[in-house]
Structure 1
Amino acid sequence: MPFFSVIIPLYNKEDYIAECLESALNQSFNDYEIVIVNDGSTDNSVQIVERINSEKIRLFHQENQGASKARNKAASLSKGQYLAFLDADDIWKPNHLESLNESITTFPNSGIYANNYFIKHSNTYTAPAELNIKVNNNAPFILEDFFEASLKETVVWTSACSIEKSKFESYGMFNPIYLSSQDLDMWIRIALKEPIVFHPKKTMIYNNSIENSLGKIEDNDARFILLESFKEYEQSNCSLKAYLDLKRYGLALRTKINGEDKIYKDTLKTIDFENLNTKQKILLGTPSFLLKLLNNIRPVIIKNSLYLRIFKS
């Protein structure tokens, strides 16, 4: 039995999957397998995987059903004790699994093990994730408050974390009704009940490049339902409420840009504006045509991080 099963959902990532797999195969910690579920790709992604000669790789196929079902199927087919998720357009540093193993060894039986990470905002701009944490050394530790620590960027990014397979299954795996943010749902549910371990070493590069623009159409109805599903918990958890309100702010901004007026108005009603800063309040009051303009020129202004200074807290 391998210690880790690397879980990769694959859908039309021919420009990224080779580099992704190279990073996964170049790990200093060697006790792992790689389980890939091809989610009905129509490009050359599968052919690229098949050209890579490694006994660690196991490739399976399904009709296109989305990331949740692809990850869940890969997890079900995996043989490892721990699952380490990796999206097909993200990159691991060579010490990624080694750092996760250090966290697991130091704090066994925890809920989630998360490494620090970089964010690739464009081909010319990559920066460390901005987390609400003060770090004094490079040793893993248990977060005092996951939600407070995630009030900037989230502490747990899917391609930078690991969870015991049996624990993942006990939480019902990723909920396939959410076409996006299914990982957010899972991490919140676990963080409400179990300790989250964070390793300060930056071992992953999350590809948040131009394709994933703020105005990209997503299943925002389901995202609204997801955020509202924790209504009971946030009434007695101030940091969870603040965390969810920042997610709602992002949803409101996105739906305003998209012209999804009903979700935008419904989302505004759920936000405690005391949890937003002045800039965020101003942006929510900005005319949609101006927000669309800013979003359309994103490829230009993100090169010097101006876009992030505008839209991020």
Structure 2
Amino acid sequence: MEKSTPLVSVCMPAYNAGEYIADTVKSITDQSYANWELIIVNDGSTDDTAAIVNQLTDSRIKVFHQENKGQCAAANQAFRLSKGKLIKFMDADDLLSPNYIYNQVSMINGDDDVIAFAAWGRFYSNSLATFHLDDSFLTSSMKPAEWLIASMTDKQVMLQCALWLIPRKILDVSGLWDETLSLINDFEFFIRVLLCAHELRFTNDAVLYYRSGLAQSLSATTSAKGAESAYHSVNLGTQYLLKQETSNRVKKIAADCFQRLVYTFYPQHKAIVHKAALKVKELGGSSIAFPAGGYTKILASILGWKTTQYLKFIFKKRA
């Protein structure tokens, strides 16, 4: 019985999630799999998050309140409060399909050295009518290093936390979230965690509905702390991968990751841009194009990406 229905702990940091968290919790309570616990850590929210989660009556839900320490610290606290053999970290604004947990548990099938993952897509404006499944996401069961390399070749990898169901035993080996990181902290964490598994198994009939376009989720990119976090996360994550394989294909993947930082943080965070550019050169260079569409793409083709990015920065600063 224990093997077929192990306790699943959903670890959910929550910061100013009052507008969405009730729907997220409902997607957990509506799961066809019943043996779960949800640990919500309210990370010093200043909106009505605390009031909403305090009204939850399901006995499988545990709520913990703390002063604001950041997403990583809240996720670690949720894990420390958890008891499950299988762990799912989950943001407080995303949604799971009804058979998500059941099918991921079935896919793991009692093995403690494999991680289950699932399909995903984005939705906007608080409306599932806008949902679109990401059909470029790699949905093959593979060895972790090969999956990461395939998923990161010429594109950005999706490592959103709710995609993964992870045996506690793997987390005991990999370690928890790095609390010094804030922006793209999942990059470092999940590369480290996934590489501790024997296999990644794709789960059919399991879809993560990823909420996109939230203004507060973009604010960290404007801060020096966020830029520094992004650099360190990319630096650590790519180092983990390069320890697995030092081939030219992996060096190119790493260079592309740093080049994306150059594009993202120019011209506001010049020190980070300089460090990232040095990494790109050290790793053999990157050929990925400046990410742009519409008028930005036209402008970049005329003025170059640096001038275009600088003009966008000035415009946003004055707005």
Q: Partner residue of 1:166?
A: 169
Contact preservation (8 Å) 1:110, 1:196: no
Quote the Cα distance in structure 2 between the aligned partners of 1:157 and 1:280: 21
Is residue 264 from structure 1 mapped to residue 273 from structure 2 by the alignment? yes
Contact preservation (8 Å) 2:252, 2:284: no
Quote the Cα distance in structure 2 between the aligned partners of 1:280 and 1:205: 24
- Which has the larger displacement, 285-294 or 201-210? 285-294
Quote the Cα distance in structure 2 between the aligned partners of 1:121 and 1:248: 28
Structure 1 residues 132 and 238, CA, compared in 2 at 3 Å: closer, same or farther?
farther
Quote the Cα distance in structure 2 between the aligned partners of 1:154 and 1:121: 20
Quote the Cα distance in structure 2 between the aligned partners of 1:210 and 1:293: 22
Quote the Cα distance in structure 1 between the aligned partners of 2:249 and 2:196: 15
Q: Partner residue of 1:108?
A: 111
- The TM-score, its normalising length taken from structure 2, stands at 0.79
Q: Partner residue of 2:94?
A: 90
Residue in structure 2 matching 1:128, options 128, 133, 136: 133
Contact preservation (8 Å) 2:261, 2:273: yes
1:17 to partner: Cα distance = 0.6
Q: Partner residue of 1:216?
A: 221
Contact preservation (8 Å) 1:119, 1:128: yes
Residue in structure 2 matching 1:53, options 57, 80, 84: 57
Quote the Cα distance in structure 2 between the aligned partners of 1:155 and 1:223: 15
Contact preservation (8 Å) 2:15, 2:43: yes
Aligned residue pair count: 289
Structure 1 residues 30 and 251, CA, compared in 2 at 3 Å: closer, same or farther?
same
Is residue 177 from structure 1 mapped to residue 184 from structure 2 by the alignment? no
- The TM-score, its normalising length taken from structure 1, stands at 0.80
Q: Partner residue of 1:304?
A: none
Partner SS, residue 63 of structure 2: strand
Letter in 1 for 2:310: F
1:42 to partner: Cα distance = 1.7
RMSD: 3.0
Letter in 1 for 2:186: D
Q: Partner residue of 1:277?
A: 288
Letter in 2 for 1:30: A
- Which has the larger displacement, 276-285 or 5-14? 276-285
Q: Partner residue of 1:303?
A: none
Residue in structure 2 matching 1:26, options 17, 27, 30: 30
Quote the Cα distance in structure 2 between the aligned partners of 1:142 and 1:75: 26
Is residue 250 from structure 1 mapped to residue 247 from structure 2 by the alignment? no
- Which has the larger displacement, 209-218 or 91-100? 209-218
1:231 to partner: Cα distance = 3.8
1:21 to partner: Cα distance = 0.5
Quote the Cα distance in structure 2 between the aligned partners of 1:111 and 1:217: 37
Letter in 1 for 2:221: K
Quote the Cα distance in structure 2 between the aligned partners of 1:83 and 1:42: 28
Contact preservation (8 Å) 2:176, 2:189: yes
1:233 to partner: Cα distance = 4.9
Quote the Cα distance in structure 2 between the aligned partners of 1:34 and 1:63: 20
Is residue 191 from structure 1 mapped to residue 191 from structure 2 by the alignment? no
Partner SS, residue 175 of structure 1: coil
1:141 to partner: Cα distance = 2.4
Q: Note the residue ranges of structure 2 that are not aligned, 5 or more in a row.
A: none
Quote the Cα distance in structure 2 between the aligned partners of 1:112 and 1:168: 11
Percent of aligned pairs with the same amino acid? 21
Letter in 1 for 2:287: L
1:190 to partner: Cα distance = 3.0
Quote the Cα distance in structure 1 between the aligned partners of 2:211 and 2:251: 28
Structure 1 residues 127 and 40, CA, compared in 2 at 3 Å: closer, same or farther?
same
Residue in structure 2 matching 1:148, options 114, 136, 150: 150
